[in-house]
């Protein structure tokens, strides 16, 4: 069994009558108890960890870490929060504070640490853009487009639209991996915010999971670009498309065709650039596709 699956080592039972043991000021009846469960030993840069909470009278909560708030969402057995780590987050131990709210208006505070480890990112060879696309190396264009996409990724829809695991949007060879350091035309190094999947121009691109289309239009760098909101602060996006088959506001199901692959935007050839955003951070789509969420 992998270390990050040894849940029991990180399960903390908070028996309310003994809350002062943990330095908490909350008091309640002796019959109540809350279980906070970190489902990881650590979180790699550009990855996601899940914290589960169960117990009576819970109404919700929020976790604060990396100067960011991560809400808890209702599940069939309690609540869960998806803790996403930016791929640029420094390797270190970070304090986390969880505040839980009960139906009677009371709250419980719990503090711990989260260990961030290396994402194992690589450096890639130089990419050469044709002359008609060199203008897309302008750092102002890059900064503005990144901010636009992250502003969409930062929206949190409390409803969860999908069940089960995310699937790949097409059956293509994995090219440039997530988080890799890349240069174009011998210029400034940049980080890869998704993964590239090989695909001939005109290959159907499928929705990775159920969700709502929140963006479907051209961008300078990402080309014809689609973003799907899956709820719980999770988004998937699909770049360099030659054709768009969806419009904002449209609901899609996992496996629906949302467009055709191409080479629009800052692209050196036909392929699909696939991204996943969780609570305002880009994360590795390949790793996220293996994340099993609580029901």
What are 158-170's pLDDT values in tens digits? 999 999 999 999 9
Q: Do domains 3-117 and 131-288 have the same CATH topology?
A: no
Q: Domain 3-117 adopts which CATH fold?
A: Immunoglobulin-like (2.60.40)
Closest to 12 measured CA to CA, from 55, 49, 70: 55
Task: Please give the full DSSP string across 212-253, using - where no structure is assigned.
Answer: EEEEEEEETTTEEEEEEEEETTEEEEEEEESEE---TT-EE-
And the tokens for 175?
Answer: 């090219």
Q: Is this structure's pTM higher than 0.85?
A: yes
Dist. CA 254–CA 168, nearest whole Å: 10
- What are the extents of the domains in the chain? 3-117, 131-288
Q: What are 20-40's pLDDT values in tens digits?
A: 223 232 333 333 588 999 999
CATH of domain 131-288: 2.70.70.10
Dist. CA 240–CA 262, nearest whole Å: 5
Q: What is the DSSP letter of 210?
A: S
Radius of gyration of the chain (CA): 21
Helix H or strand E segment including 204: strand 204-206
Task: Tell me the percentage of the chain whose pLDDT exceeds 70.
Answer: 89
């Amino acid at each position: 069994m992998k270390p990050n699956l040894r849940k029991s080592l990180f399960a903390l039972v908070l028996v309310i009558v003994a809350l002062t043991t943990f330095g908490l000021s909350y008091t309640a009846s002796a019959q109540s108890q809350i279980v906070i469960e970190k489902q990881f030993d650590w979180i790699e840069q550009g990855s996601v960890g899940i914290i589960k909470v169960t117990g009576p009278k819970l109404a919700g909560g929020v976790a604060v870490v990396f100067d960011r708030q991560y809400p808890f969402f209702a599940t069939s057995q309690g609540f869960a929060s998806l803790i996403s780590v930016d791929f640029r987050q420094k390797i270190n131990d970070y304090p986390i504070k969880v505040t839980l709210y009960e139906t009677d208006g009371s709250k419980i505070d719990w503090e711990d640490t989260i260990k961030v480890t290396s994402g194992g990112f690589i450096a890639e060879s130089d990419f050469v853009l044709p002359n008609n696309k060199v203008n897309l190396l302008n750092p102002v264009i890059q900064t503005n487009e990144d901010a636009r996409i992250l502003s969409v990724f930062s929206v949190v829809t409390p409803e969860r639209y999908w069940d089960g695991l995310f699937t790949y949007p097409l059956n293509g060879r994995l090219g440039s991996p997530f988080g890799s350091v890349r240069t174009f035309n011998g210029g400034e190094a940049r980080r890869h915010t998704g993964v590239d999947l090989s695909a001939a121009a005109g290959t159907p691109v499928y929705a990775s999971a159920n969700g709502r289309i929140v963006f479907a239009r051209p961008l300078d760098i990402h080309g014809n670009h689609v973003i799907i909101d899956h709820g719980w602060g999770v988004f998937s996006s699909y770049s360099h498309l030659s054709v768009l088959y969806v419009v904002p506001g449209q609901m899609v199901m996992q496996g629906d065709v949302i467009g055709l692959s191409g080479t629009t935007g800052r692209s050196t050839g036909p392929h699909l650039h696939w991204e996943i955003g969780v609570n305002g951070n880009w994360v590795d789509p390949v790793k996220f596709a293996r994340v099993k969420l609580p029901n």
